[in-house]
Structure 1
């Protein structure tokens, strides 16, 4: 006896699978998209369905874009994060750089910290909040927050300052819902300059915090 394929049953199955790929962060209430759970589910179609169920037509469109990238693999997953970060940070001084499948965000100290200080400036909170929102939406990445200084002053002082600045950024991201398990914090002092310390402009470029976003391996 031939068993008939029932569209309603198939749709219900797809709904169940798609919904299982999206979870809600209890701290932020935002929907998180797991690339591992969605990989091979038909990406855009599955997530478009999730978006329609949870947020209506606009949600269907946005979710389809995000999960279509997931269906393309790690590169697509990072492509969509890059797009989101560039859009969110376009009016800030934070640079977004793509390095293979990694993303590097460079935060200059003139918008993040007072001179020789490690407490975040108020003006840094909005862009850091935007960064955190994207990181929460895409949980399948590891994050390294690294502090850097120029070469002025004693090496030990610079090392401590770089560590404290990186820790301040890390704590803010975690306060916005980023899982602490994903984040590693480092301080490099003046050991990794990106410009010459012979000029004031070079020193300014070297005083920064970098956030490196690295995709986790597909499960």
Structure 2
């Protein structure tokens, strides 16, 4: 299935300013949970659909390799909820004031990195002043090494779909490569670009477009 078929239509606030709230964890203004909850759910749904398209046997082999390389040497078992709770708490502590939002969806954790703090406009090179934020994420990823790390790039609707698709892929690859170079097990890393197909806000305003230009990192517990 092509990625374009995974696109999920999202209804969002027409006025971003009317839906803005203060995020106590990141210290940044953000769209309210009510306003962008559907967007976050749609993003994770697209990732789940993307992963479901992978060969099941290949996925099982990959998971076994990850668990073998993990410090614990085995599956999380019945403590998945606690494992992800603890990981979420450490991520929130590390990322407070960074501009990165930490969202929880069931047993999955979503880190939303706005493009304006991660990349220059139209570029895929990570801003130098953002590298310390990624280093903070790496510390937690390497401690909690029994999770799959899906790095997904997203853009706004400016420009052609082809250009946006390529840009989203390059940006996701930049973050994924940084993680790998910092010691994150490469088998854990899945990299995908969704182009403009999964907005979390309207593309009719500059503020909405800014929210849509982002990289999302979804952490998902690994099972055998």
TM-score, normalized by the shorter chain, greater than 0.5: yes
Alignment of 1:152 onto 2:158: yes
Partner of residue 128 from structure 2, selected from 106, 122, 126:
122
Alpha-carbon distance, 1:34 to partner: 2.0
2:112 to 106, 115, 121: 106
Shift of 1:176: 1.0
CA-based RMSD: 1.7
Do residues 80 (structure 1) and 118 (structure 2) align?
no
**C-alpha deviations, 1:65-124, integer Å up to 9, x for none?**
xxxxxxx60000001100110000002000000100000000001111011000000111
State which structure, 1 or 2, has the greater radius of gyration over its C-alpha atoms.
1
Aligned to 1:34: 72
Paired residue total:
156
Note the C-alpha offset of 1:37.
6.9
Do the aligned partners of residues 135 and 197 (structure 1) sit closer, same or farther apart at CA in structure 2, a change above 3 Å counting?
same
Distance apart, 1:36 and its partner CA:
3.1
Distance 1:38 1:195 in 2: 35
Aligned partners of 1:87 and 1:36: how far apart in 2?
27
Residue number in structure 1 paired with 2:99: 93
Closer, same or farther in 2 for the Cα pair 1:142/1:154, shift >3 Å? same
On the 8 A contact 2:75/2:146 being kept in 1, the answer is: no
Cα distance in 2, alignment partners of residues 86 and 36 from structure 1? 26
Superposed displacement of residue 35, structure 1: 7.5
Which of structures 1 and 2 has the larger relative contact order (alpha carbons within 8 angstroms, sep 6+)? 2
**Among 182, 188, 198, which residue is 1:192 paired with?**
198
| CA shift for structure 1 position 142 | 0.5
Q: Structure 2: state its 5+ residue gaps.
A: 1-68
Q: Which secondary structure state, in structure 1, belongs to the residue aligned with residue 74 of structure 2? A: helix
Q: SS at the partner of 1:36? A: coil
Shift in alpha-carbon separation, 1:122–1:216, aligned structure 2, 3 A: same
- Asked whether 1:171 is paired with 2:173, we answer no
State the match for 1:137 in structure 2: 143
Q: Which runs of 5+ in 1 are unaligned?
A: 1-24, 26-31, 40-71
